[in-house]
Amino acid sequence: MHIIPAIDLKDGKCVRLRQGQFHDITVYYNNPEEAALKWQSEGAKVLHVVDLDGAKSGKIQNLPAIKKIRKTFHGTIEVGGGIRKLEDIELLSIAGVDRVILGTVTVENPDFTKYVCKRFPDKIIAGIDAKDGFVAVKGWLEVTNIKATELAIKMQDYGVWGIIYTDISRDGMLSGPNIEATKAVVEAVKVPVIASGGVSSIDDIIRLSEIESLWGVIIGKALYHGTVNLKEAIDLIESKKK
Annotated catalytic sites, by residue?
8, 129
At residue 116, φ and ψ (nearest 5 deg) are -70, -25
Q: Are 135 and 144 in contact (CB under 8 A)?
A: yes
For residue 239, the surrounding DSSP H or E stretch is helix 230-241
Q: Which residues of 24-53 are buried (b: 16+ CB within 10 A; e: fewer)?
A: eeeebbeebbebbeebbebbbebbbbbbbb
148-173 exposure pattern, b = at least 16 Cβ within 10 A, e = fewer: bbebbbbbbebbbbbbbbbbbbbbbe
- Range list of H helices, 42-136: 52-57, 63-72, 86-94, 104-108, 110-119
